[in-house]
A and B are shown apart, each in its own frame.
Chain A
Amino acid sequence: MKRTLPQSVALYSGLLLVFLIIGMPFWWVVSGSVKLPREIIARVPTMFPQSFTTQHFEKLFQSTDFPAYLVNSIGVALFSTIVTVALALPAAYAFFRMRFPGRNALYRLILLAYAFPTIVVLIPIYGLFAKVGLIDTRTSLVIVNIAFALPFSIWMMRSFLSTVPKEIEEAAIIDGAPARVILLRIMAPLIAPGIASVAIFTFIASWTEYLFASVLIVSDARRTVPVGFAGIIGQYQIDWGLLLAGATAATIPVVILFAFVGRWFVSGLTEGAVK
């Protein structure tokens, strides 16, 4: 169907608006990170850099512990993501397909994890982790991230599983495939976009988690990006160039994840459809 001119104008206007809303803050941060300090703090901002410098990135990577924070964040976010996906997939399949007493009640109950503001459980969790020697370990952050990401991930994953035609599963059962094989060989490839969504959701939630990372981690060497970066910036005196360089650098792993995971999983989905 061919679009009329007004439809095209409306479509592209909408696209431009979405691009501006999403892209402008990002552009502001990235372009600002290569400006000279005087241009950054100018009262009248410049849309395109009138100056160019890499001094903020040099300072960020040479004079601060940002690289260490980056490594910690990548490790914590990756482990949190892998374990969450590994637990959410079978759990969601169990809630979707298996029959057991209290299934529906339990399925609704898991979302109770979101009923409490995180600040309320902060102190009890601190006390609990202190007793088992997990304070100041990255493991503690992985555990917390999984605990908070898993319930919603199970819900998301179950919704994706429900979109798979029952006939495909029945065909596998007729061929004698056990539940484990059906889940991993049949269902998982078919809900690859769902797994990707859960992975991205968990990764970003872990990547940006601040409260627990700030309290459970004590030593500088184990800090993640949000907490370590907040320390670099300071309170009373702000190095704006450093702030923008750090914000730019912090988004790169997430952008890579979107590009890589998105493409990989879409490819997997297409292959599944051809089969």
Chain B
Amino acid sequence: MKARLLTIAGLASILMGSSAFAEPVSLTLWHMEQPPHRVQRMQELLDEFNKTHPDVQVKQEPQSWGEIYAKAPAAFAAGTGPDMLFAIPDFTTVIKGIDAVVPVDDLAKDMEAKHGFVPSTIAPYQYDGQTWAIPVYNMALSMWFRNSALKEAGVEVPKTWTEWKAVAEKLSTDGKYGVGLPANKQLYTDQTVYALMVNGGAADIYKEDGSISFDTPQTVASLQAYGDLQKLSPPDSTSWTWGEAEACFASASCGTILQFSVINTYETQAEADAADLGVAPVPHADDQSESGTISYSNAIMLTTKDEAKQAAAKVFIAWLLEPANYGRFLTMEPGLFLPVTNDGAKAESFWNDPIVTKYKSQVETMIANSQNGKLFGFTTGKVFPSIGAISGQNVIAESLQKMVVDGQSAAEAAKFGQARMSEIAGK
């Protein structure tokens, strides 16, 4: 282990020490953190890195999640792709499918030894015997509510689906909605439905042999519970994405919602007290003992075949995960991006951020929730290529719509989902 750390340190010293003799290694980083404040924070970090590592110059080129699935393959095919590329698990399968990503086992082992990854954050990138990306931040769905609303209604924070429905019914008064759950054929609905599936014992949508395992009694129960709660949601929730749910919550019109974070919107648009913002694990089925959730571990892939660039990129990623730098990276979106390393979760650079300090208890709960995160298609240790299409075509959300919009039963919706996923997997 020490040898690997020495290797990284050696690479860094070689890159730093040879400045008088060689041109700096130029790296291009594509990420999908486009909002201006994130770009600005990233630039601050890059400026600092470039200054302290004169032999490596990293530049950022922000991209959009909306187009990256088409743009990145085209760029790699044309030879204009980046050297480092941000990823979520299913996107990694796409880039791996075109042979544009290189494994990072050595760096992953070094970072594991030095910082300790939250297991659920690196697991989705480890398959086919190798590690395909280094996680850098995590996002996990939690249940959000207002403490004052629950107190006024005389109810406790729900832990089970039955309790959640009872709370939602109590909160559904005076034109307000006890819950705000989407039923759009869109990724947000995939995420919220899967969050219930995880909590209903239906986390695995693949069997070991790659066949689909969606039509199970657990999935049917999860869809049924979701459908029951969805009836207490605003009528326009069938066309919601993340923003509408957040606005419904921030305006105090929705009593409970599932969201990665509402802190930013709550802070800037709700005009409410920080202490009143409540967050808890996603409630679980009555027959389950603990809560889980859906989590998206975001990572960096190495996408250059040039060995000097690979070495330089590893130096950059190792630098980024250093606790002194890592907290500032995470707080480019305070209260949304969660640490993937054990020492990152304790880093002063993270907890010293004003928003994180203000919402400390909520962020602590979010981090705790994220430890139990899972992602559909990445739960069995084997990854099947069809997950990209199943995710991209929002089949989980489409199945829910069969029930919520078309009036089918939960069993029929699960059957539809099974057939649709099997059709995609069979292609």
Contacts and interface: CB of A to CB of B under 8 A. Distances in A.
B251 A123 contact: no
A241 B251 CA distance: 14
Given A41-B247, A63-B36, A237 B64 contact: no
Contacts of A169: none
B36 A65 contact: yes
A130 B78 contact: yes
Contacts of B253: 43
A32 to B, nearest CB: 12
Nearest to A38: B271
B65 interface: yes
Given A37-B268, A235-B65, A42 B77 contact: no
Interface in B255-282: 259-261, 264-265, 268-271
> Range of interface residues on chain B?
35 or more
Interface stretch (B46-54, B66-74, B399-407): B66-74
A231 B35 contact: yes
A173 interface: no
Given A43-B248, A130-B78, A122 B36 contact: no
A64 B36 contact: yes
B426 interface: no
A220 B61 contact: yes
Nearest to A128: B78
A224 B64 CA distance: 13
A232 interface: yes
A65 B36 CA distance: 8
A135 interface: yes
A42 B336 contact: no
B75 interface: yes
A231 B62 contact: yes
A4 interface: no
Interface stretch (A80-88, A159-167, A191-199, A211-219): A211-219
Nearest to A237: B264
Nearest to A129: B78
Given A43-B251, A232-B36, A238 B243 contact: yes
B250 interface: yes
B242 interface: yes
B55 interface: no
A116 interface: no
Interface string B18-35: 000000000000000011
B64 A230 contact: yes
A234 B34 contact: yes
Contacts of A28: none
A236 B336 contact: yes
Contacts of B37: 63
A152 interface: no
Interface of B: 34-37, 39, 61-67, 70-71, 73-75, 77-80, 139, 175, 234, 242-243, 246-248, 250-251, 253, 259-261, 264-265, 268-271, 333, 336
What are the 9 tightest A-B residue pairs by CB atom distance, in nearest-first order?
A231-B34, A238-B243, A130-B78, A37-B269, A43-B253, A41-B247, A126-B74, A214-B67, A234-B35
Given A215-B67, A232-B34, A236-B261, 15 more contacts: A37-B269, A41-B251, A43-B175, A43-B248, A63-B36, A123-B73, A127-B74, A130-B80, A218-B80, A230-B64, A232-B35, A236-B260, A237-B246, A237-B264, A240-B247
